[in-house]
Amino acid sequence: MSPGKRWASTTIFVFFFVIGFVYWIDKSVITDANFFRTIATTISPKKSPAHVEFPLNCSNLNLTITCPTIHPGTINKKEESSPVACPAYTRWIHEDLQPWKSTGITRDMVERGRVHANFRLVIVKGKAYVEKYSEAFQTRDVFTIWGILQLLRLYPGKIPDLELMFWCGDSTRIKKRDHQGLKAKSVPPLFHYCNDDESLDIVFPDWTFWGWPELDIKPWRTTLVALKEGNKRIKWKDRKPYAFWKGNPYVSKKREELLKCNVPNKNDWNVRLYIQDWIKESKQGFKNSKLEEQCTHRYKIYIEGWTWSVSEKYILACNSMTLLVNPQYHDFFTRSLVPMQHYWPINITNNICRDLKLAVEWGNNHTDKAQKIGEAGSKFIQENLKMDFVYDYMFHLLSEYAKLLKFEPTIPPGAHEACSETMACLMDDKLWKIKKFMVESMVKTPRDALPCTMPPPL
């Protein structure tokens, strides 16, 4: 595409952006180490960058042509480091990329991941391209891609060129046992939402950080505030002195096991378990499933579903003491949770009903201590899992991953360019909720600060 054509087809705000970045590229790439300040001042020399907004503007966009060019596509090699340290869980990026530390990542390795992937994501010169391979469940893939696009808006030009394969399902795909001996040298790098001690999937934040419209779970930034407010409604000591769980029990043996503790007439195990009927809930407008209204008990149970469960962050953020049934899977942040500090561990291989009952009894005997554990869990989520750090985790993971690539990422013939406009503007009226969540979770302004500083490997 000729530059002239592209210019003709972009909106005024994009025009503004392009001018800004052309100017910026000329001026700063070579000389100025302070990348972020340069962007900010170039975009708006007078206003503080926090006030520069680039909202979604669908009005004059010719979507048959191309996405707006808002990214300069140049990476500044010289970097200062941020005084803000990343949360401890960021350290696990080193661990997740360990299989490729000595070999690097070849094109062949990436291609081997294709059989597992729902889509391939390519970033070239700050623009994102998606090649779709198979349907993902609901809108998991849509909101995952959306999240990556927002990262590109947050740190324009800072995300290096890369190619990656992404799997949006529940189960882990890259098993350690299949990649031993000689095969350990050709592990396909596959991005996914969780892994466990038996698998090598690369852990990436799940789609719920940008929203889960099918279940009316709003973008995380909004939800985090709602949970904080919701926690003020009932003080810990006024909450029901039982352990609460609500969910779908039919997705795992563990959950079916848990449900056996629900025999209030015979034996009170101090638990209050409810089966979540999402179909009924959706018909009733989700009025009984608001997360911030589920912080009514002193204790909340977390138990895995098929693999990891996105519910963990909502449960931990309740100020109630979390009774965490020992998990097999981790998502990106759970690996730095500390038992007895952030949660009370429950061992499923023991007598789960008895152990839950004892934990609740202990908490009711030692209310101050139980309350403290509950609050520490919430604080962990509120502080370490705010969206800024989620984006920084993604930033560091993608940057470290890109460093390992031994080939030049190219735009595959079957790929289409993805940007916030092509995704959100094209939603028709039936998909209003998807669009609403997208607009709500959209990054409207580049960040005027460096990403947090990553901790060194263990």
Ligand X SMILES: *[C@@H]1O[C@H](CO)[C@@H](O)[C@H](O)[C@H]1NC(C)=O
Judged by beta carbon, residue 12 or residue 84, the one nearer ligand X is 12
Out of 38, 41, 44, 57, which residue is the one contacting ligand X (CB under 6 A)?
A: 57
Q: By CB under 6 A, is residue 60 in contact with ligand X? A: yes
Q: By CB under 6 A, is residue 358 in contact with ligand X? A: yes
Q: Are strands 240-247 and 202-203 parallel, antiparallel or unpaired?
A: unpaired
**Interface with ligand X in residues 331-350 (CB under 6 A):** 347, 349-350
208: left (phi over 0), alpha (psi -120 to 50) or beta: alpha
Q: By CB under 6 A, is residue 12 in contact with ligand X? A: yes
Q: Residue 313 CA to chain centroid, in angstroms?
A: 11
Judged by beta carbon, residue 4 or residue 413, the one nearer ligand X is 4
Judged by beta carbon, residue 57 or residue 382, the one nearer ligand X is 57
Given the rule CB under 6 A, which of 97-105, 242-250, 355-363, 372-380 is the region that contacts ligand X? Answer: 355-363
- The type of residue at 95 is E
| x-marked contacts with ligand X along 305-334 as a string, rule CB under 6 A | ---------------------x--------
**Whole-number Å distance between alpha carbons of 262 and 28:** 65
User: Minimum Å distance from CB 58 to ligand X?
Assistant: 8
- Please compute Rg for the chain using Cα positions: 23
**Residue 226: its H or E element:** helix 220-230
Q: By CB under 6 A, is residue 64 in contact with ligand X? A: yes
**Whole-number Å distance between alpha carbons of 409 and 406:** 9
Given the rule CB under 6 A, which of 10-18, 137-145, 189-197, 254-262 is the region that contacts ligand X? Answer: 10-18
Out of 293, 361, 383, 440, which residue is the one contacting ligand X (CB under 6 A)?
A: 361
Judged by beta carbon, residue 61 or residue 385, the one nearer ligand X is 61
CB 240 within 8 A of CB 433: no
In angstroms, what CA-CA distances link 77 with 35, 55, 130, 212?
Answer: 10, 29, 26, 37
Judged by beta carbon, residue 126 or residue 363, the one nearer ligand X is 363
Given the rule CB under 6 A, which of 22-30, 245-253, 356-364, 425-433 is the region that contacts ligand X? Answer: 356-364
In angstroms, what CA-CA distances link 196 with 184, 394, 415?
Answer: 17, 19, 31
Out of 365, 408, 430, 458, which residue is the one contacting ligand X (CB under 6 A)?
A: 365
User: Minimum Å distance from CB 9 to ligand X?
Assistant: 6
* Location of structure tokens 């941020």: 82
**Interface with ligand X in residues 366-405 (CB under 6 A):** none
Given the rule CB under 6 A, which of 29-37, 56-64, 160-168, 174-182 is the region that contacts ligand X? Answer: 56-64
CB 32 within 8 A of CB 440: no
In angstroms, what CA-CA distances link 2 with 5, 9, 161, 226, 287?
Answer: 5, 11, 22, 47, 52
Out of 59, 102, 180, 265, which residue is the one contacting ligand X (CB under 6 A)?
A: 59
Buried b (16+ CB within 10 A) or exposed e, 363-376: beeeeeebbebbbb
- The type of residue at 372 is K
Binding residues for ligand X, total number by CB under 6 A: 18
**Whole-number Å distance between alpha carbons of 410 and 345:** 47
User: Minimum Å distance from CB 265 to ligand X?
Assistant: 23
Judged by beta carbon, residue 12 or residue 263, the one nearer ligand X is 12
**Whole-number Å distance between alpha carbons of 162 and 189:** 12
Given the rule CB under 6 A, which of 59-67, 136-144, 174-182, 449-457 is the region that contacts ligand X? Answer: 59-67
In angstroms, what CA-CA distances link 53 with 62, 185, 424, 444, 445?
Answer: 21, 46, 17, 5, 5
Q: By CB under 6 A, is residue 102 in contact with ligand X? A: no
For residue 305 the two structure tokens come to: 């579903």
Given the rule CB under 6 A, which of 9-17, 112-120, 188-196, 450-458 is the region that contacts ligand X? Answer: 9-17
Binding site for ligand X (CB under 6 A): 11-13, 55, 57, 59-60, 62, 64-65, 326, 347, 349-350, 358, 361-362, 365
